[in-house]
Structure 1
Amino acid sequence: MEDAHQKLDVIIVGAGLAGLAAAISCGLAKHNITVLEAARQLTEIGAGLQITPNASRLFKAWGIETEVAALAAEPSLLAVHRYSDGKILAQEDAFDQNIRRKYDAPFIDMHRVDLQKILYKRAIELGVDVRLNHRILKVDDASGSKPRVVLESGQSLECDVVVGADGLWSKCRESMLGKADAPLPTGDLAYRIVLEIDKITDPELRSRISNPEVHFWIGPQAHAVGYSLRGGTMYNIVLLCPDDLPPGLSRLNGSVGEMQDLFTNWDPILTRFLRQVDSVDKWKLMHRAEVPSWTNIQKNFVLIGDSCHPMLPYLAQGANSSIEDGAVLGRLLSYVRSKAQIPWAIELYESLRKSRSEMIVRETFHQRDAFHMPDGDSQIERDTLFLSQLGKEVDAKFPSRWTCPEVQPWLYGYDAIKEADNAAILSLSKRC
């Protein structure tokens, strides 16, 4: 990796978490990186994020570990409660210590905007050219040896590699498929809430916020999750329930009263938090069908993040897997010594990332099924399994994949840089 290599001109479409992760990783590989972002200002909409060790370990490698820690909250406990009375079904104490011991990286909770700003700053430090208010029309990859990004302004930009990181409503995806391809509803929606501790007078709620923990409440066709942000000065709540938004609407100002009514008979701690809310938005949760390939035939145009594998938020892996994508792609491009090697790197990226990401997508639906069971025989069987492991180190396939001994190591133990290095070295040795 220290040998001289030919610098590539890489255009990344989108300055969300996936695009900025790719920009940092490609920037560290010493390529020329341009990021095109449609927004006039870099303020990503959103609330809390749960950053798991598969992504957080990258922050140290990228030189942003200290900045992230200053704005994060690291939960010391993770608990799952029955919705109606708050009964604890599962609980892991010393969660922060256990995660660090097992994965040598933390589980942290952050505001999405905070993480985006840190990634943006690091990308700029690495010489990445981020251009705001640059909305693309299409990617043209059939006119010559190099792909071109065509902007709505009429300008076109040619490069060696185009990275489509433009999210759920991706123009890059449409260009690659050659057709319109609208996201599909999952049948669920999310109410997203952020509360500030300074505006809350209830001492028990304030204590919950200032001592970071993760709490899930699971019930029929719905569940809720709450956790602290910004060192225990903010609280993020997400309510997941059946989608009642009209067709064609993906986001709507919600009714606080309607939201509170939906969760009236839930754990009093949760409903007390919900009584602190003065405004709320409803977000339709969308997904996409798997596509045969994330790359074009020429292997110089590739999709990452939500443009190719959007995820339900039930394992908090949408952001984490997008960051993984960017890390793997940039690391593989660090091995490219000439433009003739671009297809090799892109093919290797897809082989490393596609199967894992699509497996995570499927696992999120399984988690929804486990958390949204209606009251009845299956729910009783699930809760019996939960309670059989309470107070023990879990040793069975578990309804909560957050602490499942089969799923958690596979999710959290992934090391994107090591995976890319091992695959590149093995592949190059076979080519010699």
Structure 2
Amino acid sequence: MASPLDIVVVGAGLSGLAAAIQCALSGHRVTVLEGAKELAEIGAGLQLTPNSTRLLEKWAVYQNINGPCEPATCTVYNYKGKVLAHEDGFDKNNRRKYHAPFADCHRVDLQKALAERAEELGVSIELGTRVTAMNLDADGKDGGNAKRARVMTTENGQVFEADLVVGADGLWSTTRSAFSGCKDAPLPTGDLAFRIVLRLEQVEDERLRKMVKEPGVRFWIGPDAHVVAYSMRGGTMYNVVLLVPDDLPESVARIEGSLDEMRGLFEGWDPVLTQLLECVDRVDKWKLMHREELASWISPQYNLVLIGDSCHPMLPYLAQGANSSIEDGAVLGLLLAPPHFTSSSQLPETLELFQQLRKTRGEAIARETFKQRRDFHLRDGPEQQERDELFLRQLGQSLKGAFPSRWTCPEVQPWLYGYDAVKEVETALAQRKSGAGVDMPQL
């Protein structure tokens, strides 16, 4: 690029690293600022769906993830253990329909693979560098009209200057607060997650060991709660997430959980699940948070843009928090690529197009996660019976119409998994060039 941008990405999470990779591929100078001193094993498993894995494959990242598991089955049980929905060949069906894999992995394995690829492309990743403030009204380069951004950090009072700051610092975003001009705390959703990672050696029962070693996605759904479980790291680890009503104090976002409390909440559920919970020796308890929708993700100076959880955090009930964040990073970087982008003077129209492409979709997915919670958490009664009858009428058949599990729903799944960021950008740029409005795909 004749005039590359100086881009500072705040946050080395999945959205930030995705943006860094695609912006570097588009020819820009990219620095990532991350407050953590190392990319440690925070969090647990991730479900990577085809809308993001097609990007990870394009970036030569997917093949460097440690032991991703492509689940051969996807099964929904009621909380007593009765099969409500089941799909064999789930891995092959996803590749056939979407030309990209559905895979389960550990979050840190993906994060490290993204970071390694970013550094290969010349991205500077500054760990232990926490952003504390920003000035979005600095003078432009060489007296230009475009406002530069100055990013201040706690690391020896360093100051980083940029044509564009990408706010990718997650749910508790500092950049969002700087953007809005006030402290803007996340809001509780009413749910929390018990997050569990089991090693194969912790599981003695042969039936349970088979579950770990032979990858499949499993859901148990019941009154006010549900469970999702899947294999990772080549079938040597098992990720289990228990989603239940939130009872944490308002000021507590994460603590170590009580094993007795966790097991008590699922007493009377499927014996396969309760036996699995007996293998657990520690569990983390996370409050699930969300945020109100913003009017805009772009600063008035067009030198700051928010992506990922900083602007559209989601309940984990469709596994799209990570996947849609990777989409954000890809679309932003692709829009900043030549030949259609050659100068910082094009930032206003480019960022407006980014927002037009991403805001509607990101916020729609976030709303859809609440609908999935409702359908999975029905208490015993007429609505639950109607839901189960809908499940069972199509068990073993090709699904048609709206379906209570959006993971295999023939209406929602293609909207989620069939999204192609590269084609989306190409189409939008062609429409803009022709003078036509940009069409927005809707659910």
Q: TM-score range by the shorter chain?
A: over 0.9
Query: How many angstroms apart in 2 are the aligned matches of 1:209 and 1:155?
Result: 47
1:135 to 130, 135, 140: 130
Query: How many angstroms apart in 1 are the aligned matches of 2:92 and 2:60?
Result: 22
Q: Deviations over 1:306-365 (max 9, x none)?
A: 000010000000000000000000111113211111112111111100000000000000
Query: Pairwise mapping of residues 88-99 of structure 1 onto structure 2 (< 5 A)?
Result: 88-99=83-94
Alpha-carbon shift at residue 423 of structure 1 (Å): 1.3
Query: How many angstroms apart in 2 are the aligned matches of 1:428 and 1:40?
Result: 44
2:374 to 358, 369, 372: 369
Task: Tell me the residue number matched to 1:181.
Answer: 184
Asked if structure 2 preserves the Cα contact closer than 8 Å seen for 1:300 and 1:346, the reply is: no
TM-score of the pair, normalised by structure 1: 0.97
Query: How many angstroms apart in 1 are the aligned matches of 2:433 and 2:332?
Result: 16
Could you tell me which runs of 5 or more consecutive residues in structure 2 were left unpaired when the two chains were aligned: 140-146, 437-443
133-142 or 393-402, which moves further after superposition? 133-142
Letter in 2 for 1:113: V
Could you tell me which runs of 5 or more consecutive residues in structure 1 were left unpaired when the two chains were aligned: none
Which secondary structure does the structure 2 equivalent of 1:231 belong to?
A: helix
Query: How many angstroms apart in 1 are the aligned matches of 2:326 and 2:117?
Result: 14
Query: How many angstroms apart in 1 are the aligned matches of 2:188 and 2:161?
Result: 35
Alpha-carbon shift at residue 60 of structure 1 (Å): 1.6
Query: How many angstroms apart in 2 are the aligned matches of 1:64 and 1:251?
Result: 30
Query: How many angstroms apart in 1 are the aligned matches of 2:203 and 2:157?
Result: 50
Asked if structure 2 preserves the Cα contact closer than 8 Å seen for 1:16 and 1:44, the reply is: no
206-215 or 138-147, which moves further after superposition? 138-147
Query: How many angstroms apart in 1 are the aligned matches of 2:48 and 2:4?
Result: 32
Query: How many angstroms apart in 1 are the aligned matches of 2:47 and 2:187?
Result: 24
Query: Pairwise mapping of residues 8-27 of structure 1 onto structure 2 (< 5 A)?
Result: 8-27=5-24
Letter in 2 for 1:63: A
Alpha-carbon shift at residue 31 of structure 1 (Å): 0.5
Alpha-carbon shift at residue 429 of structure 1 (Å): 4.3
Query: How many angstroms apart in 2 are the aligned matches of 1:157 and 1:253?
Result: 37
TM-score of the pair, normalised by structure 2: 0.94
Task: Tell me the residue number matched to 1:246.
Answer: 249
Query: How many angstroms apart in 1 are the aligned matches of 2:74 and 2:124?
Result: 40
Task: Tell me the residue number matched to 1:82.
Answer: 78
Which secondary structure does the structure 2 equivalent of 1:283 belong to?
A: strand
Q: Deviations over 1:340-398 (max 9, x none)?
A: 11112111111100000000000000000000000000000000000011000100200
Letter in 2 for 1:213: G
1:352 to 348, 351, 357: 357
Which secondary structure does the structure 2 equivalent of 1:364 belong to?
A: helix
Residue 56 of structure 2 corresponds to residue 59 of structure 1: yes
Query: How many angstroms apart in 2 are the aligned matches of 1:46 and 1:408?
Result: 25
Q: Deviations over 1:210-249 (max 9, x none)?
A: 1000010000000001100011111100000000101100
Task: Tell me the residue number matched to 2:346.
Answer: 341
Task: Tell me the residue number matched to 2:4.
Answer: 7
1:100 to 95, 104, 110: 95
Alpha-carbon shift at residue 159 of structure 1 (Å): 0.9
Alpha-carbon shift at residue 150 of structure 1 (Å): 1.6
Letter in 1 for 2:216: E
Asked if structure 2 preserves the Cα contact closer than 8 Å seen for 1:44 and 1:116, the reply is: no
Task: Tell me the residue number matched to 1:34.
Answer: 31
Task: Tell me the residue number matched to 2:144.
Answer: none
Query: How many angstroms apart in 1 are the aligned matches of 2:214 and 2:371?
Result: 30
Q: Aligned-residue CA RMSD in angstroms?
A: 1.2
2:238 to 229, 235, 238: 235
Q: Deviations over 1:121-148 (max 9, x none)?
A: 0000000000011111122213431111
Query: How many angstroms apart in 2 are the aligned matches of 1:213 and 1:385?
Result: 23
Alpha-carbon shift at residue 44 of structure 1 (Å): 5.0
1:324 to 327, 332, 341: 327
Task: Tell me the residue number matched to 2:47.
Answer: 50
Which secondary structure does the structure 1 equivalent of 2:148 belong to?
A: coil
2:224 to 221, 224, 232: 221
Number of aligned residue pairs: 426
